[in-house]
Chains A and B, each alone.
Chain A
Amino acid sequence: MHMRTHYRFSNLLLYMLAALIASACLLPFWMVVASSLTSEDSLIRHGYTLWPRQFSATAYHYIIAAGRIIRGYRISFAITIIGTFLSLLCTTALAYAALSRKWWWTRHISFFVLVTILFNGGMVPWYLVCTKILFLQDTLWALIIPYLVNPWFFFLARNYFKTLPEALMESARIDGATDMTIFTRIMLPMAVPMLAALGLFIALNYWNDWWLSLMLVEKDYLLPIQLLLRRMESNMTMLYQLASIPGMSNAQRPPAYGVRMATVVLTVGPIVFLYPFLQRFFITGITVGSIKG
């Protein structure tokens, strides 16, 4: 009897603590959503509130009217899906090659990749490589290729592959399997948790990116949603600060505070919807690449 009440009480305490932490995480996000649906007037006068004092979807109307959002979403989805697939392929293939002992130089691939973490030519050489050597400017590939192999993810994949039993590969090789067969039919299926976690990280990288399109793309129709929203936000903030814009009356002034919140919702929305489906991979995959018992 005693044990059960004690158990229930400490359980209650733990639940309360968890609820507190959960609400601390949820509340800011809730406030963002609520503020994005509040009228600009109310935001200026009363600030951000938990429940909109005055419902209004003007922020969203403004973004959709002025921002070419649908096209931006299309580009963002395209580069995320294609980019994640290709990046997973390239990263895991490189990790496999780095562990191969076929030739004398394959042992040094890891070091080669390590050097790129430590040293870096800078922004201008990177830009010159992308435009003058690879001719990526104004193409969709400009938004995909620079992020194909990330050294941190390479090491993650390599370490995970290292934990897979070497004997299995040996026996497959003895049975006459080529490298391609071992890679695609043995290693990748065994590495599914790692692939899921890695895929999520890479997808987030591609989804959140605005730097590549800022630097390499001038054509409007190739801009992902992140850059479109960033551009809108930055220019709107600037217009607010500039003293005189002939012809720009207050009636046409964009709803700045609401738009800021609405851009957060539009940017994070798809990812939030995706997370519940990938959650189980995420939890197991976080420890991937660490010591295996």
Chain B
Amino acid sequence: MRKGLIVTLVLSVMICVVAPVIMAKAAPVELTVYLPGDPPAKPDAVWDLINKELEREIGVSKVNFNFVPWSDLKAKLSVKLIAGEGDIFFDAPWNNLNQMLAKGAYAPLDALLQKYGGSVLKGMPQPYWDNNAAKLDGVTYGIPININIANYSVWGYRLDLAKKYGMKTPLKSLADLEQYLTLLAKNNPEMVPFTINNNSSIWHNYFRRQVAYGEMGPNAAMGYVLDQKTCKVLPFWEYPNFYKDLATIRRWYKAGLIEQDILSQKDDKALWAAGYLGILINDPGYSQTIHLPGVEIGGLKILTPPQKGFVDYAAWNFACIRKDSKNKVQAMKFLNWIHRSQANYDLLHYGISGKDWIPVGAHTFRYPEGYDPAVNYQFPWYVLGGDVIHHRLSADLSKEDLALTLECMDAKNFIPSRLAGFVFDAEPSKTEIAMCQVLEPKVQPYFDGVVDQSDGLAGVIQQYKDAGYLKIIAEMQKQADAFLASKH
């Protein structure tokens, strides 16, 4: 009797000790990822495959992708972070990144990257890691997401119309563009030749970039650094060719080449999509992204060659791991899995080969016949996992577009900005910035050619000076110089 009791006691103690260990080993690890946007259509087939591979390779039984609407991104993600849920988070400087870094909500990634994230490090060129905006006091907290070095924008124009008017295509200069617009205004009066959303202006988005590209200058303060040797901050009226370009825009406006109601235009993209616009700004890939059925799109690079644009290696989006997540190692292993091979990258971003996409060679792909984003899988690279070496280009890019896209993926086509990594702290000049922002609607008519520059531009510039604009410029110069000094 006593012996039986002792045996039972010993056995139960053993079970109590061993069981938790066994349970812990058997407990499946599930990762939760929070991303913005729309979930891909019918993702289960693809995600099941991913989960199977992850289970086999890194012991993660399931990855839960949770998509949050863009408009609610800030609110929802910050609540989840603070309440202690989720493992991998999308974040960005334009979202919550700076606040969350200050709060210490994300885990430091240096050790994890060194140990488990080799492929992650290889996926992005080293300057991206050096100028990582998700770094605080030298510690990395976020993985940059980008698929090229920088973007050269283009004047996207209707190649079919240019050919119809008998022009020599592709267009090669601003003079060609002017002729194209003139012919368009004459032959297709129902179309709008050229316009832009009223939250930007023609000088700012087009002509300014014709002179220099990627130059440092936060829009709020409108100060620009072009000369890499002196790193002098310029007010906008000292921008090279400023008055000459304004005169050109004014001439275009008077000739009817620019929409007369440009200051109230709200949606230039929709106008283009309906086939009523002659020129639309876009990025490499334009032959697909602003594609119109049955119509060829041409793109003249904004930036007069042979100049090169500046690049500051600042990614827009980042992937971060929550500080108190219990699955930090598995999260890093999952991120590493994405970048480890082309097959993994393809599976996550493009879906099942042959069904959702068709590989064309090693670096391009095509969508199959009858592709419908409402039904076929499509995972946006810019929310998770996009990297420079694995990203596939569309095989349907026009020759011109492909050349530009490849140009944007090669670092030797850009000049590294000396101010890469510099973030202007707007706090000391926030009053002046607020006062100058009030003046923006006053200066916009000049930037769009609606009002002649001889008619009051000098007065508006004086108003800027009175509002303390030059103080902002001086503050920017001071901070930039301090940044450059600290780099050496």
Contact B270 A131 (CB under 8 A): no
Given A256-B270, A257-B270, A234:B69 Cβ within 8 A? yes
User: Is B228 on the interface with A (CB-CB < 8 A)?
Assistant: no
Instruction: Select B289's contact among A45, A131, A246, beta carbons within 8 Å.
Output: A246
| Bound-complex Cα distance A235 to B70 (A) | 6
The answer to whether B276 and A44 have CB atoms under 8 Å apart is yes
Let me know if B76 and A250 touch, CB within 8 A. Answer: no
Interface hits, A264-291 → B, CB 8 Å: none
A176 contacts chain B at the CB level, 8 A cutoff: no
B284: A residues at CB distance < 8 A? 244
Instruction: Look across to chain B and name the residue whose beta carbon is closest to the beta carbon of A249.
Output: B291
Stretch at the interface among B1-9, B230-238, B372-380: B372-380
B14 to chain A, nearest CB (A): 33
The answer to whether A253 has its CB under 8 Å from any CB of chain B is yes
Q: How far is the CA of A239 from the CA of B272 in the complex (A)?
A: 15
Are the C-beta atoms of B75 and A123 separated by less than 8 Å?
yes
Minimum CB–CB distance for A283 against chain B, Å: 36
Closest to B39 in A: A220
A215-B79 CB under 8 A given contacts A65-B374, A235-B70, A246-B285: yes
Closest to A251 in B: B293
On whether the beta carbons of B374 and A243 are closer than 8 Å, the reply is no
Instruction: Give the docked Cα–Cα distance between A248 and B286 (Å).
Output: 10
A230 at the interface (CB under 8 A from B): yes
A12 to B322, CA, bound (A): 69
Q: Are B289 and A40 in contact (CB under 8 A)?
A: no
Q: Is the CB of A247 within 8 A of B69?
A: no
Q: Are B276 and A250 in contact (CB under 8 A)?
A: no
A117 proximal to B (CB < 8 A): no
Tell whether A127 pairs with B83 under 8 Å between CB atoms, given A231-B69, A238-B70, A244-B285. yes
| Interfacial chain B residues near A45, Cβ < 8 Å | 274, 276
B437 interface residue per 8 A CB criterion: no
Proximity string of chain B (267-281) to chain A, C-beta cutoff 8 Å, 1 when within and 0 when not? 101111110100000
| Chain B 151-169: CB-based contact to A (< 8 A → 1; otherwise 0) | 1000000000000000000
Cβ of B394 < 8 Å from any Cβ of A?
yes
Contact yes or no, B288 A246, CB < 8 A = yes
Q: How many residues does chain B have at the interface if contact means C-beta atoms less than 8 Å apart? A: 48
- Least distance between A133 CB and chain B CB atoms (Å): 12
Decide if A234 touches B380 in the complex (CB within 8 Å): no
Of A215, A231, A235, A250, chain B has the most CB atoms within 10 Å of the CB of: A250
| A218 close to B38 (CB less than 8 A) | no
Q: How far in angstroms is the closest Cβ of chain B from A260?
A: 12
- What's the minimum C-beta distance from A139 to chain B, rounded to whole angstroms? 16
Q: Which listed residue (B76, B269, B288, B382) contacts A240, Cβ 8 A?
A: B269
Which residues 59-73 of B have a CB within 8 angstroms of A?
A: 64, 66, 68-72
Name the distance in Å between B279's Cβ and chain A's nearest Cβ.
16
A112 to B459, CA, bound (A): 61
Q: How far is the CB of B92 from chain A (nearest CB, A)?
A: 13
Digitize A58-98: 1 where CB-to-B-CB distance is under 8 Å, 0 elsewhere. 00000001100000000000000000000000000000000
A210 CA / B176 CA spacing, docked (Å): 52
Contact (Cβ within 8 A) B69 A124: no
Nearest-neighbor residue (CB-CB) of B82 within chain A: A124
Query: B292 within 8 Å of A by Cβ?
Result: yes
- Do A247 and B378 touch (CB < 8 A)? yes
B283 interface residue, CB < 8 Å from A? yes
Q: Mark B168-188, 1 if CB is under 8 A from A, else 0.
A: 000000000000000000000
Are B37 and A238 neighbours in the complex by a CB distance under 8 Å?
Answer: yes
Contacting A at CB under 8 A, from B384-437, are 393-394
Assess whether B195 is interfacial by the CB under 8 Å rule: no
Residue of A nearest to B270 (CB): A44
Contacts of A250 in B (CB 8 A): 272-273, 290-293
What distance in Å separates the Cβ of B298 from its nearest Cβ neighbour in chain A? 16
A249 touches B83 (CB 8 A): no
B interface footprint on A32-45 (CB within 8 Å = 1, 0 otherwise): 00000000110011
Contacts of A65 in B (CB 8 A): 374
Q: Report chain B residues within 8 Å CB of A1.
A: none
Given known contacts A246-B288, A247-B394, A249-B291, A44 and B267 CB-to-CB distance under 8 angstroms: yes
Which residues of A are found within 8 Å of B382, using beta-carbon distances? Answer: 242
Closest CB of chain A to B439's CB: distance in Å?
A: 25
- The answer to whether B210 has its CB under 8 Å from any CB of chain A is no
A128 touches B83 (CB 8 A): yes
A245 with B66: CB separation less than 8 A:
no
CA distance A133 to B367 in the complex (A): 48
Q: Is A214 an interface residue (CB 8 A)?
A: yes
A120 to chain B, nearest CB (A): 15
Kindly report which residue of chain A lies nearest to residue B38, judged by CB atoms.
A235
Residues of A within 8 A of B282 (CB): 243-244
Q: What is the distance, in angstroms, from A38's C-beta to the closest C-beta of chain B? A: 13
Task: Knowing A41-B274, A243-B283 are in contact, say whether A214-B72 is a contact too (CB < 8 A).
Answer: yes
Docked complex: A132-185 residues within 8 A CB-CB of B? 132
Q: Which residues of A99-139 are within 8 A (CB) of B? A: 123-124, 127-128, 131-132
Interchain CA distance A67-B378 in the complex, whole Å: 17
Task: Give the CA-CA distance A246 to B290 in the complex, in Å.
Answer: 10
Cα–Cα distance between A237 and B282 once the two chains are bound (Å): 17
Q: Are B394 and A246 in contact (CB under 8 A)?
A: yes
Of the candidates B71, B290, B373, which one forms a contact with A234 in the assembled complex, judged by CB atoms under 8 Å apart? B71
What residue in chain A is nearest B197 (Cβ atoms)?
A241
Residues of B within 8 A of A124 (CB): 79, 82-83
Q: Which residues of chain B have C-beta atoms less than 8 A from A247's C-beta?
A: 288, 367, 371, 373, 378, 394
| CB of B105 to closest CB in A, whole Å | 12
Q: A5 near B: Cβ within 8 Å? A: no
CB of A252 closer than 8 Å to a CB of B: yes
Chain A residues with CB under 8 A of B267: 44, 240
Please, which residues of chain A bring their CB within 8 A of the CB of B79? 123-124, 127, 215
Cβ of A243 and Cβ of B289 under 8 Å apart? yes
Cβ-defined contact, B290 with A231, below 8 A: no
CA of A41 to CA of B394, assembled, Å = 28
Q: Cβ of B69 and Cβ of A230 under 8 Å apart? A: yes
Residues of B that sit less than 8 Å from A by CB? 36-39, 64, 66, 68-72, 75-76, 79, 82-83, 85, 151, 267, 269-274, 276, 282-286, 288-293, 367, 371-374, 378, 380-382, 393-394
* 8 intermolecular pairs with C-beta atoms under 8 Å apart: A44-B273, A237-B70, A245-B289, A246-B393, A246-B394, A249-B289, A249-B291, A252-B372
